[in-house]
Structure 1
Amino acid sequence: MFLLDIAAEMVDRYGIDADEAVARINERFIGWRFAGDGLLFHQSEAYWATDIYFGHDVWWRGEESVDPVPAPGGWQRWLSRRLAWQQLWRLRRLWWSKRLYWKHR
């Protein structure tokens, strides 16, 4: 899988642990939907690993002059390992939209 390859690249290149890499990826791509041959897959794993670890400024200033983006905290790591919160909010939106539909019908 492409996102796991990005995490492996971050672990190899920057020496962070796998949990932190996954948490950074989840934080970066929250709310994105991946389908087909999207824009994400037009760049390499090394590109995305650098972009996620240093942020967008790295492409203009270089890796040497940019500090890494702060790692997600313990609470964010806990959430990143559990995607149920995303599903919960999707279900809540669906429930509210159906409720409004039936109310104003």
Structure 2
Amino acid sequence: MEGDKKEVQDSKNYKLIIVAKDLPLVENYCRQLSVASKKSNITMSGVTRFPIKRMCITTRKSPCGNGSNTWDHYEMRMYKRSFALTTTQTELQTLFKSVKNPAGVQVTLQEDQ
């Protein structure tokens, strides 16, 4: 009985934010996290999808400025997802050890008060 009380007191609320340029990487990583959290009995509220951030860059093709006005258009998209977790710190560490973080995916963990 005392062990259960201690475990409930140690659990905290965390906010997990995932950002990447590649949509399949983000979706796959979110799927892996949700499956691993269900296996380890971590309370997780669903994926919150944020609007896509678009950065557009327009530049001249000709470096010298002579010739016809031709332009290149480049676009970078940033995909962002968020989770809310309620767990202990040790369970959180085992969760991140079980799910491999792919290159190009930025993971931010914040503790909610």
Larger radius of gyration: 2
Length-normalised TM-score, structure 2:
0.24
User: Which of the pair is proportionally richer in strand?
Assistant: 2
Structure 1 or 2: more helix by fraction: 1
